[in-house]
A and B are shown apart, each in its own frame.
Chain A
Amino acid sequence: MKLSKKVVLLGHFGVGKTSLFRRFVDNEFSEDYKVTLGVQIKKKVIEMPDGRELSMIIWDTEGHADIEDTRKSYLLGSNAFIYVFDLTRIDTYKNINQDLAYLAKNHPKVKIKVIGNKLDLVNEKETLKIFKEQDIAFDCLTSAKTNKNVQDFFLDLAKEITV
């Protein structure tokens, strides 16, 4: 039986949503930054440990400084949101708690995951310390450039949304 799930990437512009999306689906990375307009959609078929095949339909939305500016219809019917922020830019995570509260309030049934991207540009230990001090919770630190933690993150998410 066909198993499809919708996952939406959210966050400020330039945080690396498209890079994560391309890294996971096509295993590609480009240094060229092209702004995403509207939305782009890709599919990744994942073989689950129980033998089922999951079609993960990933919506890569355009970035917004304010989460409330994201087109609401793009979020409907989602199984998971991935909130991405840039570890090198404080403005991309300074309102993270409010943004997550907004998502949780408006989409209570949707699983929300938080990714700090561009791990290759920071010192991991120091970053972890800073985030702990500032009480910023996240699920995973990734680097779309080096592919660090990207595949594992999406595969874990696939398991969580198919339970």
Chain B
Amino acid sequence: MEEQDKLKILKELLLTEEKEYADSIAKKVEELSKIVHQKQELSHKVDPIIDDKLEEFVAEIPKTLGPTITQALKEEIKNSQDAVVEALFPIIGKMIKKYIAHEMKLLSENINRKTRQAFSFKNWFKRTKARARGISDGDLAITDYAKPRLIQMFVIEKDSGLLITDYSPLSDNTVDKDMIAGMLTAIKSFVEDAFQGGNQNLETIEYELYTIHVQNFYSYYIAAVISGAYNMMFKEVLEDQIIDFAQHHISKRDIENSELFTKKLKKHFEDEIV
């Protein structure tokens, strides 16, 4: 045996453990290099960590960035008041225009109605009665103006939200009644579902000067839009009138024939409710 072979054997005897250790390190390095260099492998390992961090970051946004963003927005609005006004002006302008047009229409219809009523026997009797009680014509007019009035009435299929018929004593209506019927039903369904009230129903919706009175029946509901002071007395009378109408004037045939139904609805509700 030569000197070199002996040395080799000696090496093998003495360094076996170290060699195994070195091999295992080399293997691990190779695996790591594979993970790092192969996108999919790396993504498999790193994605969950990034997802966790992102989730944490998103959850922390209101705390960390929220106050800064709010402050920045406040300052921006404060410093750019003209720009804000410029941006909002067309919208506000349109709203005001629409509101004034609507109020003018109501006023005009009110004046027409009052003119008609002013010379009626009923009105003369009412004024005489009020004077006898010490109520001035002015007070009587104010009370009259705040009186609740039916603006529009919708009969809507309960489940689908499809409009069966509607009636409005106002001459001209620009609103899309089908969409109103749908949205009212969606709001009603949402409220009734969200509060899990079992068989409880939404009864009124209020907005600005109007109240929507909602009365439920088995397969349909009636929504009455009221202007003026919607009080308990008016509510009771209206409820009674609607129940009376539903009991005596609505049949299955009416629900299927909207023209006939509209005529009946008009006949029943064209007079003032209270």
A contact set with B: CB distance below 8 Å: 1-2, 4-6, 38-39, 41-43, 55, 57, 59, 71-74, 76-79
Interface residues in B156-189 (C-beta closer than 8 Å to A): 157-163, 176, 178-179, 182-183, 186, 189
Docked CA distance A5–B257 (Å): 15
**Which residue of A is nearest B164, CB measured?**
A2
The verdict on A73 contacting B258 (CB below 8 Å), with A4-B178, A41-B182 known, is no
The verdict on A1 contacting B179 (CB below 8 Å), with A38-B190, A57-B161, A73-B189 known, is no
Is B259 an interface residue when CB atoms closer than 8 A count as contact? yes
Is B192 an interface residue when CB atoms closer than 8 A count as contact? yes
Which residues from chain B contact A71 at a C-beta distance below 8 Å?
Answer: 189-190, 193
27 CB < 8 A contacts A-B: A1-B257, A1-B258, A2-B258, A4-B163, A4-B178, A5-B162, A6-B162, A38-B186, A39-B186, A41-B183, A41-B186, A42-B179, A43-B182, A57-B161, A57-B162, A57-B178, A57-B182, A59-B182, A71-B189, A72-B193, A73-B193, A74-B186, A74-B189, A76-B159, A76-B160, A77-B158, A77-B160
Chain B interface bracket (under 10, 10 to 19, 20 to 34, 35 or more): 20 to 34
Which residues from chain A contact B258 at a C-beta distance below 8 Å?
Answer: 1-2
Which residues from chain A contact B193 at a C-beta distance below 8 Å?
Answer: 71-73
Which residues from chain B contact A77 at a C-beta distance below 8 Å?
Answer: 157-162
Docked CA distance A77–B161 (Å): 8
Docked CA distance A39–B184 (Å): 11
Instruction: Classify the secondary structure of B's interface with A.
Output: helix
Q: Considering residues A1, A43, A78, A79, which has the most beta carbons from chain B within 10 angstroms of its beta carbon?
A: A43
Docked CA distance A93–B113 (Å): 60
CB distance from B84 to the nearest CB of A (A): 21
Which residues from chain A contact B157 at a C-beta distance below 8 Å?
Answer: 77
**Does B160 lie within 8 Å of A6, measured CB to CB?**
yes
Interface residues in B240-274 (C-beta closer than 8 Å to A): 257-259
Docked CA distance A55–B176 (Å): 11
CB distance from A60 to the nearest CB of B (A): 11
**Does A43 lie within 8 Å of B160, measured CB to CB?**
no
**Which residue of A is nearest B193, CB measured?**
A73
Which residues from chain A contact B158 at a C-beta distance below 8 Å?
Answer: 77
Which residues from chain A contact B179 at a C-beta distance below 8 Å?
Answer: 41-43, 57
Docked CA distance A71–B196 (Å): 12
**Does A73 lie within 8 Å of B259, measured CB to CB?**
no
**Does A59 lie within 8 Å of B162, measured CB to CB?**
no
Which residues from chain B contact A41 at a C-beta distance below 8 Å?
Answer: 161, 179, 182-183, 186
**Which residue of A is nearest B163, CB measured?**
A4
Docked CA distance A73–B178 (Å): 18
